[in-house]
Structures are given as C-alpha cells and as structure tokens.
Structure 1
C-alpha cells in the first residue's frame, strides 16, 4: 500500500471576546493538534484595529506558501475579525479556508457600547472558501443574523 505524506495544514485559531479557557474546544484543538492561537493584547476590551494587526502579523509569520495554505478557525468575535481582516489585508491569498463558529452580533443593543469599534459588521463575501456554523439558541447571535 502506497501512502502519501501530505504536509500538515497551517491552522490559526482565533478565539472571541474574553479568549477561550482551557476547556473550550479551541483550546482543546490547540492542545491536541498544535495549532497556533492568535494572541491579543486585550481580551476584555478588544479594539478592532489592534486585533486586525495581530491577525495580520500572524498571517505574515505563517509558513502558508506553498500549499496547503493557511486555515483560519474562528469563534465568536474572532469570526468578525476574519471578515474585517479580509476586507483590509493584501495577504488574503495566503488563506485557503476559514471555519467560522458562532459569530458575535456586535450590533445587538447589549453589545453596542461594549464593542463599539467592531461596528459596522463587514458583510462582503470572503475571498477564500469558508463555512459558517450558527445555532438557533446562541445568545451571542441569532441564527438569522449569523
């Protein structure tokens, strides 16, 4: 039997507001697979511009060229980070795909003041393959808005 050793994909994990604790699925994926988490300067008072720079730096530091390319795995506010980054970065060609899980609706009344720098939400299509997973009972974002 012939096997082909394909290079492991480069995966960047993008937790949402307040980070992801040790029991969170993102942290488990990081521990199990060695994926790289994009660290932010301030998880409690996130500023979109600051988070964008951290993601841009992580993408530029990745070894995503050539194939298989970079995969972004985002949760909550991290989903909006991917969308905002994709509208501003000149390096989106380094990303092969994105998995966006349970985006946060920063335009909800309860979050507008807390996450003011995250509005407006970018609604442009992403320039790479993506999958969005939403939930009908997610308190952070309605299924319809996701």
Structure 2
C-alpha cells in the first residue's frame, strides 16, 4: 500500500493580500520550516476587488500544484474559495475556512461598500455544499459577520464548525499575529478528510 503524499498547503488571503504580521503569513513560514510544501495565492496587481480575478488567481495557483492540496482561507479568502468551488473542479483534500465575512450585510468602515462588492461579483454568496471536506473556524464577536450567519454558511457548505471564542476577525487588528491553534485545526481537518475519503 502506497502512502498518501503529503498535501501542499495553499494560503488563500483576503482582500488585503499578503500582510507580513498576519497569522497566514506566519503559518506558511512555520510549515515551510517544518518541511511542508506551503504556498500562497500571489497578490493581484490589478482588479483587486474583482471576484472573478481573485477566483482566477486561486485557480492559477492550484494549476501549478501537482498532487493533493489543502486550502487555508481567511476572511474574503473563504469567499474566493466558495466562488472557486462553484465554478471549477479539481480534487481538494480539504479546506480550513477561517472567519468568513458576511457580504450580505454592510461591513464596518474601511471595508468595501456592499454595492461595490455586488458590482465586483461577490454576491450572491454561494451556499451549495462544497465538493471537498471543510472546516469553518468561527469567531463569536467578528465585526464582519454574526456568529449565527457564519453557522448558517458552514451548514450550507456541509462544513464542520470549530468554535474560536471571542477572537474578533482573527487578524492583526484583533491581535493575531501568531495563531498556534491553526496547526491543531489543520490536524482536525486531516482527520475529517480521512474519514470522508
């Protein structure tokens, strides 16, 4: 019996792209130091608010990877992932979907307006079951989405739900930074994927 190859872990950032002190950036560095193949969807130079451009960038990053892939998406990266899954098909071993925003409600100041998001193709939010194992990590006090809405989205996607407690939007503004629990959630996702294989 051949062992399953270790998956490539692909970070799918939100609209702010690569942020040096973000937990995704730090997690990628930690995984690389441990000998894993960890990559990140490259930042866009143009059409930064375009959902289609973001989905195309994810698809191009996936096309460059042979073998199994685990996605680690945060914020709008979760929306990029579910829009990608509605349009494309390729095997994904699993996806960790962290603090998805609710684009059906106005976002706090400093974030794109709902009308701009709609014009850029983000709405409606895909709510079909995802064709791969997934785990949604939900904050109790996320300013970008109510806990009830995140729970509804996780159920619609067929995702497991990991409760994070009061972690805000789990970004540098909320104090993250290093997020050690990501490793435990990736292990939980791996167990989930093995059960559904």
Bin for the TM-score computed over the shorter chain:
0.7 to 0.9
Contact 2:93 2:133 in 1 (8 A): yes
Distance (whole Å) between structure 1 residues aligned to residue 85 and residue 115 of structure 2: 24
Unaligned runs of 5+ in 1: none
Runs of 4 or more, structure 1, over 4 Å off, are: none
Q: Tell me the residue number matched to 2:76.
A: 77
Corresponding residue pairs, total? 137
Q: Whose helix proportion is higher, 1 or 2?
A: 2
Alpha-carbon deviations, 1:72-124, whole Å to 9, x = none? 00000000111111110032xx2110000000111112341242221110001
Equivalences for 1:111-126 in 2 at 5 Å?
A: 111-116=113-118, 117-126=121-130
- The offset of 1:60, in angstroms, is 1.1
- Of 29, 42, 45 in structure 2, the residue corresponding to residue 31 of structure 1 is 29
Unaligned runs of 5+ in 2: 33-37, 108-112, 151-197
Tell me, what secondary structure is at the counterpart of 2:97?
Answer: strand
Task: Name the Cα RMSD after superposition.
Answer: 2.1
- Of 44, 59, 62 in structure 2, the residue corresponding to residue 59 of structure 1 is 62
Instruction: Provide closer, same or farther for how the CA distance between residues 137 and 86 of structure 1 changes in structure 2, counting only shifts above 3 A.
Output: same
* TM-score, length-scaled by structure 2: 0.64
Q: Tell me the residue number matched to 1:107.
A: 104
Q: Tell me the residue number matched to 1:49.
A: 52
Q: Tell me the residue number matched to 1:135.
A: 139
Contact 1:17 1:43 in 2 (8 A): no
Distance (whole Å) between structure 2 residues aligned to residue 115 and residue 79 of structure 1: 15
Contact 1:79 1:103 in 2 (8 A): yes
Contact 1:17 1:44 in 2 (8 A): no
Tell me, what secondary structure is at the counterpart of 2:44?
Answer: coil
Distance (whole Å) between structure 1 residues aligned to residue 148 and residue 46 of structure 2: 27
